[in-house]
Each structure stands twice: as structure tokens, then as C-alpha cells.
Structure 1
């Protein structure tokens, strides 16, 4: 897929909009790594770790497939940073592998605010001085900037890639999950749902990563929250799945990927 810049402002205006670190994805962090992070809500029931039961392994195995079956999910992605984090609220189409949302800075000024759309290899950004609370249902046409998604060195890009990878067109192998280190860590309440907290593989289900990501999973395998630590960041990336209605993601006019 080739993505073009559209409505690109030049001169002083362009230089001003290219300042925010999330636009240029400044590479200053150590390589991104996912490592175990132990957090279970207070008073949430018996604490692990222990081996997964067959039912728990089956639910962990289908949780990414559930996202794919749903077509897409509404998400809130909290990206940590020592200089103030970012919060992305939007949706991910797990069949088209396309994410879209609005970005707001936390503990920082509004220079990082705006709209964002991303695929597995490309990030499109639309800076806005007064970003809305929710992303418009259809992305506006002009003034988008395109850049590659960096697989290392950027907490933002790592978070986008992790979130995009939480859908799969087939279940994982439930028999292999315990062998690769997946465990049950405890129980919790999430948005009115009783959930089990389990460690499991990263979004690629690669061997040896069975204990690197923490999942909050309902009784039917629905994914409610995912937590992953990113190297050199003080707090983990947190991806919360909204139980509200999913709004289908639309490509950016003229520059977004086609269905």
C-alpha cells in the first residue's frame, strides 16, 4: 500500500505542525519490549499465579478471534510517557486492520492533539488546535500527514501496533498456551463484568511470549482490557475496550487504504 500526503502545508505552517513528537515519532526510547506486569484490582478475589484450567485456556485462545468476529471494537489507548502521556479514543477495524481516533495529551499542552489513523505499516496524523472529545465518524479530507509506523523506538507506535494486533482471523492453540507460560493471575470486575485476569502471548502469539501480556477476559472470551509494559516508560500501555456500539472505521479520503 502506498500512502500519499494530501493537503500538505508548506513553509512556516508545515514546520509548526511537524513539531509535536507524535507526528514525527521521535526515536529516543530504548527498543520496545513487552514484559509481564502484575496488577489486579484491589479486593478482586483469589490471587494467582496458577496454571490455566482448560476453560481459561480456551477463553484466552479465542479472545483475539472474538474481536475479529465482532468486525471491530471501540477502544481507548493510554500511552505512557515521562513527558506526559497520550490518550487515543476511537475504533479499530480488525478485519481491515485499520485504526482511527482522536488524540489528546495528558499532563502536557495541546500541541499533540488531533486525529490519527493507522495501519500495520503507516501512520496518518491530522493536528488540531481544538481536538473534539470524539473523532468524527468520517475523517476530514485535507491536512493529513503520512509517515511509516516505527516498529522500535516509539511508545506511541508500539501502542498502535499492539492494539491493531489484538484481533485474529483464527483462535490461538489452547493446548500450547500453558506450555508457553500463560497463567491465571486473579479475578476482577470490569465495567460491570466479572473477568479473569490472565497472562498470555503477545499479539503475534510468538513462542516464548506466553507471560508477557495481561488480559482481562470475560466468561465468553470477550476481551475487556489489555496491559503491556513498554521499555523505558514508567507505566504500561493500557488498552480498554468499550462495550458500546462500534463505529466502523472509514479510510482518510484520498490517502487512506481502500477496503
Structure 2
């Protein structure tokens, strides 16, 4: 998953963000919205064994679609998942494919409310959607909300800086619980977020595979 601090880095954190770094953080969510959609892999911790959610997020439609594969006792969670900011639908598939099918099955779905307080999966899905916004954040407020530079690093060969900062638009966590791997152009490539009751973080990796547009529901 990459080292916290790149070898040979001449700077060490944490330290307050500079004005330029605050500007990069401020456009981070807007960059995702500008992209329209991004390929994403989400690793979700759980006492029964982690789940890996691999698919796409549409930041203009505020929705996601992916395949879920579980480990340990969570292997029974394998299947497809669709979600918005308020609803989540799951479709069990014992032999889940590597990627979510372009044409989702028409039946077999179970729909429910998405509740970020109910468990790590819903929390992770809400965090992912919160990483897009139709306008930049206020760069002047970010240092006051706990934004700090932590280290230089790389994600899949891309040079990035690691920051702490507000978790999402509705600020469901404190700044120290979330870290962002952010490139010089404001493109986000990784997020690690600690969630209540879990010892391991949710890990969100972007551009891990080819982005596939989310098919319309129904």
C-alpha cells in the first residue's frame, strides 16, 4: 500500500500546510467532480474479515457501482453493490466476477437505507461519495480544521504528498483520523480513514483499474 514517508525525503511532518498546499487540498474534491467519475478500490475492515469493493464512482450523479468480495467470514458478502448518498442495494453472487458487469442483473437486488453509523461498509461508501464536490472548498479554512502536511510518498509510481484534513463535506470525523495522498495537480489517489470501533482503516485507492461508466438503475 506504500510507505508513509518516502525514502530520502528531506522534509518531515507533521507541519502546517502552506498556502499552496491548502489550495491543492481545497480543489481536491472539485477535481473528482470535474473528472465526472473515477475507478476505485475500497478495502473495508471488519472483525469478520475485510471486504474489497472494486468499481466506479460517479461524482456528478453521486452514485457508485461495484463488485464486493469478502475474506474470512465475510466471504458470504460476495456480489454486486450500488449506492447513493441515501440508499444502498446489494445483489449476492456466490461466484462474484472480477469486475462489475456492464449490464447489471435485473433481479435479485435488496434495497435499504444507507446508514454511515450502522457499520464499516456503509461508512466507507459514504466517505467515498463525500470525496466529490461541485465547487472548491475554502482554502483559508482548511488549516483551522486540522489540515497538515505529513510526508512525501508515491502511489503506483506517482509522486504525492500525504496530508491530514477534513474527512468529507459533512465532516463525520476529526482531521487526524483521515489521510490523503494528493498529487501536485490536486488529484487524489488514496485515502485512509479510521472509523469508530475498527483497529484498521478504510483504504480508498483511485485509478486502480479502468473506469467504466455506471449503468442506469433498472
TM-score interval, normalised by the smaller of the two chains: over 0.9
Query: 1:224 corresponds to which residue?
Result: 189
Are the equivalent residues in 1 in contact too, given 2:40–2:208 (CA < 8 A)?
no
The residue aligned with 2:86 is: 121
Deviations 1:7-29 (A, max 9, x none): xxxxxxxxxxxxxxxxxxxxxxx
Partner of 2:68: 103
**Structure 2 residue 186 is the aligned partner of structure 1 residue 235:** no
Match of 1:171 in 2: 136
> Residue 80 of structure 1 is aligned with which of 39, 42, 45?
45
Give deviations 1:218-257, integer Å, cap 9, x for gaps: 010000000100111120000000165421111331xxxx
Residue aligned with 1:176, SS? coil
Partner secondary structure for residue 184 of structure 1: strand
- SS at 1:65's partner residue? helix
TM-score with structure 1 setting the length? 0.78
Instruction: Determine if contact 1:51/1:184 at 8 Å carries over to the other structure.
Output: yes
Structure with a larger share of its residues in strand: 2
The Cα of 1:47 is off from its aligned counterpart by: 2.5
Match of 2:110 in 1: 145
Distance (Å, rounded) in 1 between the aligned partners of 2:205 and 2:127 = 12
**Counterparts of residues 147-226 of structure 1 (less than 5 Å):** 147-204=112-169, 206=171, 209-226=174-191
2: distance between equivalents of 1:231 and 1:202?
Answer: 13
2:7 paired with 1:43: yes
Q: Which moved more, 1:149-158 or 1:86-95?
A: 149-158
Deviation (angstroms), 1:42:
5.6
Which of 67, 70, 80 aligns to 2:32? It is 67
Partners of 1:108 and 1:182 in 2: CA distance: 37
Instruction: Answer yes or no: is the 8 Å Cα contact 2:167–2:173 preserved in 1.
Output: no
Question: Larger relative contact order (C-alpha < 8 A, sep ≥ 6)?
Answer: 1
Structure 1, residues 111-169: CA drift from partner, whole Å, max 9, x if none?
A: 11000000111110000010001111221211111011113131110000001111000
Q: TM-score, structure 2 length as denominator?
A: 0.93
Query: What are the ranges of 5 or more consecutive residues in structure 1 without an aligned counterpart?
Result: 1-38, 254-259
**What's the CA shift for 1:211?**
3.7
Number of aligned residue pairs: give it: 215
Q: Secondary structure at the match of 1:108?
A: helix
Equivalent-residue separation in structure 2 for 1:208 and 1:252 (angstroms): 31
RMSD: 1.8
